[in-house]
Amino acid sequence: MTTKNQPAPLTTTSGIAMIILGIATAQFVAPHFDGFVKGMAQGAGIALIILGVYFLASSFRKDAWLPSRERDDD
């Protein structure tokens, strides 16, 4: 169980893994192919990078401050 200020380890680890896998796919796998397959490999690599950044950022924003939750309308 994680405390309030610690990110979830699974989300952080999966985010970093997706970023590394996306870079590897886009840079090292795609140049070995041509045409449609090369485009698919590059697209998959970029999609993995974007998803990895999303998971990594969401693991650090669990308890974000929201002004709407601080209202005192009593």
The verdict on residue 41 lying in a domain is: yes
Does residue 62 have a pLDDT over 60?
yes
Cβ contact 62:8 at 8 Å: yes
pLDDT tens, residue by residue, 24-42? 988 888 778 899 988 998 9
22 falls in which pLDDT band (50, 70, 90)? Answer: very high
66 inside domain: no
34: domain range?
11-61
Is 48 contained in some domain? yes
d(CA 17, CA 55): 10
Q: Is the CB of residue 2 less than 8 Å from the CB of residue 43?
A: no
Instruction: Judge whether 72 lies within some domain.
Output: no
Count of domains for the chain = 1
Residue 24, in any domain of the structure: yes
| CB within 8 Å of 12: residues ≥ 6 apart | 55, 56, 59
35 located within any domain: yes
What is the distance between the alpha carbons of residues 49 and 30, in angstroms, rounded to a whole number?
A: 15
- What pLDDT is recorded for position 44? 92
Token pair listed for 62: 């669990």
